């Protein structure tokens, strides 16, 4: 089974100029952990929840200067500043993607190896054609197993 058979074909995307408040709203409302950053249908980066939250973490200087402890509640207050940034300020570049013609288990291996839950699907010149999630892979394998008539027996 190939990636193109199970991928999402209409992924939500953002541009480098998208305000982070819009991005985090989509992430929270639709439970999406990351979005491809596109320019003229070409994927040029990816913005993930970890990129946003990373801005809230203490720096090495803050850890060294704070022998008595770090006030994490104060650090959460940085969120108001972070959401006023643009996607270009936090996005990752050099994004890993998979091909639509790749076998789904090979794509899942790439995702697991890099600790991704979802991965962009691209063709030549990084043109974004879809997204694939581990849930998509799992669901496809489950459906294929059930539709082939293989009985799943509970272990005793």
Is a pLDDT exceeding 80 seen at residue 57?
A: no
Is a pLDDT exceeding 60 seen at residue 19?
A: yes
Q: Would you give the DSSP letter of residue 31?
A: T
- Phi then psi for residue 146, to 5 deg, are -70, -45
Strand partners of residue 89: none
Q: Within 10 A of 139 (CB to CB), how many other CB atoms are there?
A: 12
What is the average per-residue pLDDT within 31-56? 92
Average pLDDT, the chain: 89
Q: What is the largest CA-CA distance in the chain?
A: 63
Percent above pLDDT 90 for the chain: 67
CB contact set of 123 (below 8 Å; sequence gap of 6+): 99, 100, 129
What is the average per-residue pLDDT within 61-80? 75
Is a pLDDT exceeding 70 seen at residue 136?
A: yes
By the 8 A CB rule, do 107 and 122 touch?
no
Per DSSP, helices labelled H in 3-125 are 20-30, 49-54, 60-65, 72-76, 79-82, 87-90, 104-113
Domains by residue range for the chain, with CATH: 3-147 (3.10.580.10)
Q: Would you give the DSSP letter of residue 103?
A: B
Distance CA 151, CA 82 (A): 50
- Phi then psi for residue 20, to 5 deg, are -65, -30
Which pTM does this prediction carry?
0.81
What is the average per-residue pLDDT within 91-107? 96
Percent above pLDDT 70 for the chain: 88
């Amino acid at each position: 089974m190939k990636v193109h058979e199970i991928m999402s074909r209409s992924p939500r995307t953002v541009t480098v100029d998208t305000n982070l408040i819009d991005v985090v709203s989509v992430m929270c409302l639709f439970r999406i952990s990351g979005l491809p950053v596109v320019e003229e249908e070409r994927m040029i980066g990816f913005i993930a929840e970890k990129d946003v939250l990373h801005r809230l973490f203490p720096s090495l200087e803050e850890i060294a200067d704070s022998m008595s402890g770090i006030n994490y509640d104060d650090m959460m207050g940085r969120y108001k500043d972070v959401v006023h940034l643009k996607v270009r300020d936090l996005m990752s570049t050099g994004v890993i993607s998979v091909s639509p013609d790749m076998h789904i288990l090979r794509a899942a291996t790439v995702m697991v190896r890099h600790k991704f839950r979802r991965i962009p699907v691209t063709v030549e010149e990084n043109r974004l054609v879809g997204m694939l999630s581990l849930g998509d892979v799992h669901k496809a394998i489950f459906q294929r197993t059930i539709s082939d008539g293989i009985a799943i027996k509970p272990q005793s």
